[in-house]
């Protein structure tokens, strides 16, 4: 009875684990959103202090509004495996950017890389605009006639002069007038935030619809393809770690025992180049990655690398 209950519990655990594994993209984006909200609150409470100066408000506010988003964009590109897979070695061999002359596929990959890196910056921008603190400071420092007339229409004459001091609550305007201006700042900021959210979601939906509509495979095969890529990457990382450990152990053992190293099978440089290329699916050859296509190909070159090749010491 106990063993049966244990088996049932394990089945339930595997079901829950499988559910979370299938929803890991959603969970990842949710976690990113929570981090963005938390980061924005920390910036607002502990770092942001609007100078309330007509000459500095706009620069200060816009820097806090866009600066972190730009940093997140750079980090998103920096940690993109696809970008480095596409870019590495392209200065020496520009054809690596567009293998087989497929310019459309190259542009599609670049758009995919950039759109993936834009998720965190857009989240930051939306959260910051919905809160409104950075926008209030930035807009209050604008001296453009259109902006001043928009906020100070039907108000006292000193409104335009005191506009930059409103976010700090230090203006000489009446309390009701200051609160009305703050509500206008916040309303505009939130409208912009919701506009960006709606536009981003719409573009994401249209992009997904277009990609699926142009897919050369069925939905189930596309799902299998994604699962295969995930598992291949996981297995490749695990196997390379184990294989690198064995190679390091063999070399160290050969050095300390002062004898010839044992033969160790290893792919040549050309093979590494071939499996590192980005893959584009074609109906004529049903492979799911460059590695899959390479191992299934007839007439593979199994010879080890004989001539030394120069490596960048920064990556060694």
192: which 2 tokens? 């912009």
Q: What is the pLDDT of residue 100?
A: 63
Rounded average pLDDT over 92-107:
71
Least confident of 35-39, 56-60, 196-200, 306-310: 306-310
Measured CA to CA in angstroms, residue 286 lies from 93, 211, 216 at distances of 27, 19, 11
Least confident of 154-158, 219-223, 236-240: 154-158
Q: What is the pLDDT of residue 188?
A: 92
286: which 2 tokens? 């049903």
> For residue 22, what pLDDT band results from cuts at 50, 70 and 90?
low
21: which 2 tokens? 């594994």
Q: What is the pLDDT of residue 199?
A: 95
The alpha carbon dihedral of 186, 192, 195, 197 has a sign of: negative
Q: What is the pLDDT of residue 252?
A: 94
* 78-88 residue pLDDT tens: 988 888 888 88
Please give the mean pLDDT across all residues of the chain.
80
- Based on its alpha-carbon atoms, the radius of gyration of the chain, rounded to whole angstroms, reads 28
Nearest Cα to 112, choosing from 83, 79, 73? 83
Q: What is the pLDDT of residue 66?
A: 92
DSSP 45: I
CA distance 144 to 65: 20
Q: What is the pLDDT of residue 99?
A: 63
* 191-233 residue pLDDT tens: 999 999 999 999 989 988 988 888 888 888 888 888 898 899 9
CA distance 24 to 37: 20
Q: Give pTM, 2 decimals.
A: 0.77
Neighbours of 103 (CB within 10 A): 10
Nearest Cα to 181, choosing from 159, 201, 158? 159
CA distance 141 to 151: 12
Rounded to the nearest 10 degrees, what angle do helices 133-140 and 175-213 cross at? 110
Q: What is the pLDDT of residue 243?
A: 92
Burial class (CB in 10 A: 0-12, 13-18, 19+), 186: middle
Query: Residues 229, 291: contact at Cβ < 8 Å?
Result: no
Q: What is the pLDDT of residue 18?
A: 57
Most confident of 31-45, 104-118, 149-163, 176-190: 176-190
Residues of the chain with pLDDT > 90, as a percent, come to: 22
3-state secondary structure of 42: helix
> For residue 30, what pLDDT band results from cuts at 50, 70 and 90?
low
Q: What is the pLDDT of residue 315?
A: 47
23 pLDDT more than 70: no
Query: Residues 290, 97: contact at Cβ < 8 Å?
Result: no
Rounded average pLDDT over 276-301:
79
Query: Residues 98, 86: contact at Cβ < 8 Å?
Result: no
Helix (H) or strand (E) holding 227: helix 219-257
CA distance 285 to 274: 16
In the chain, where are the structural domains located? 20-214, 218-316
CA distance 149 to 152: 5
Neighbours of 9 (CB within 10 A): 10
189 pLDDT more than 60: yes
Helical ranges in 141-174 per DSSP H? 145-152, 159-162
Nearest Cα to 135, choosing from 145, 119, 146, 147? 147
Please list, in sequence order, all residues whose beta carbon lies within 8 angstroms of the beta carbon of residue 192, skipping any fewer than 6 positions away: 129, 135
Rounded average pLDDT over 282-308:
75
311: which 2 tokens? 């490596």
């Amino acid at each position: 009875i106990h063993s049966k209950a244990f088996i049932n519990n394990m089945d339930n655990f595997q079901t829950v684990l499988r559910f979370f594994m299938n929803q890991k993209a959603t969970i990842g984006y949710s976690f990113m959103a929570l981090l963005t909200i938390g980061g924005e609150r920390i910036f607002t409470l502990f770092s942001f202090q609007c100078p309330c100066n007509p000459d500095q408000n706009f620069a200060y506010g816009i820097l806090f509004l866009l600066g972190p988003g730009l940093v997140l964009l750079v980090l998103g590109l920096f940690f993109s495996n696809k970008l480095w897979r596409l870019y590495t070695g392209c200065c020496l061999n520009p054809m690596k950017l567009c293998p087989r002359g497929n310019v459309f596929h190259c542009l599609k990959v670049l758009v995919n890389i950039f759109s993936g890196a834009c998720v965190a910056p857009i989240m930051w921008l939306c959260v910051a605009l919905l809160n409104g603190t950075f926008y209030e400071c930035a807009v209050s420092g604008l001296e453009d006639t259109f902006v001043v007339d928009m906020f100070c229409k039907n108000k006292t004459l000193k409104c335009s002069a005191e506009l930059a001091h409103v976010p700090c609550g230090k203006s000489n305007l009446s309390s009701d007038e200051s609160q009305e201006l703050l509500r206008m700042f916040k309303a505009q900021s939130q409208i912009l935030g919701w506009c960006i959210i709606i536009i981003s979601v719409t573009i994401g939906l249209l992009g997904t619809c277009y990609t699926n509509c142009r897919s050369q495979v069925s939905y189930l095969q596309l799902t299998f393809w994604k699962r295969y890529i995930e598992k291949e990457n996981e297995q490749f990382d695990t196997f390379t770690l184990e294989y690198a450990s064995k190679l390091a152990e063999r070399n160290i053992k050969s050095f300390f025992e002062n004898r010839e190293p044992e033969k160790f099978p290893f792919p040549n440089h050309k093979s590494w180049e071939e499996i590192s290329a980005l893959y584009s699916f074609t109906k004529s050859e049903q492979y799911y990655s460059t590695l899959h296509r390479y191992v299934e190909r007839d007439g593979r070159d199994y010879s080890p690398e004989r001539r030394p090749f120069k490596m960048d010491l920064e990556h060694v």
